[in-house]
Amino acid sequence: MVWLFAMLIPFLILEGLKLRASSQIVRIWHLGARKITGIKVEVTGSPSETLPLLLLGNHTSYLDIPVINALFTVNFIAKSEVRSWPGIGFLARCCQTIFVERRAIKSHEQIKILRDKILPDRRLVLFAEGTSTDGSVVLPFKSSLMEFVFDEKIAEVCHVQPITVLCLKDSASASSPEPETVLYPWFDDTTLAFHFWRFMATSGCTVKVHFSPSRPVSEFDNRKELTRWAHAGVQNGYDIILKKA
């Protein structure tokens, strides 16, 4: 626990100087955080090497961030309210998170911000359910969040890929692989501090990450078609993970 807080010092310095850490520094930090928290990751499927890339996934916990970011350099898209959340907001600001006004996701200003971030060769991650869950179900995706990839400059070069993240067991869970029995998810009114303290009392967990095949945005006629396909891909990854458990 002491080491984890010590790792915050570089971010505190950067915050004071109004600077952001580079993508590589952020990835190294998340690798360290994952090791300290005892999170092990098992990957199935193949992450797309084609960039720019938008990863669309389910969301169960703030711990999804180090799980994904330790695999490769990415930028996460988050609703603007996250910026002011205690603890998480601070880390999100330091880690080059892109904050968007979801009610205005289709506005010219928001699309320009996201276009500048994803082009020419970046990975962005969007948790398309718009909230977090206990991991027992994949909620419907919000199609309005996909609008920006149909910007002409983005659509002609960008690929999209479904990603499923699921924790089936930690040291506090039952022996049977049931997602809702683990302490990894953070989805209710439990405070961040209490949830993190409780999770750190375990000996860690194993998180399954599944990458479904990617497709170019240009193959989709509209955001609703893309949304249905992405949701099906994440659900398929969920089913694959459970079958292998």
Ordered domains of the chain (ranges, CATH): 2-244 (3.40.1130)
Would you say how long the chain is, in residues? 245
pLDDT at 167: 92
189 alpha-carbon distance from chain centroid: 20
Cis peptide before 120 (omega within 30 of 0): yes
In this structure, the strands spanning 215-216 and 159-170 are antiparallel
Q: Which of 209, 127, 131 is nearest to 168 (CA)?
A: 209
pLDDT at 6: 57
Could you tell me the two tokens for 119?
A: 């082009």
- Angle between helical axes of 9-16 and 23-37 (0-180°, round to 10): 150
| pTM for the whole structure | 0.88
Q: Which of 66, 118, 112 is nearest to 92 (CA)?
A: 66
Q: Which of 116, 25, 33 is nearest to 67 (CA)?
A: 33
Which stretches of the chain drop beneath a pLDDT of 70? 1-21, 103-106, 170-181
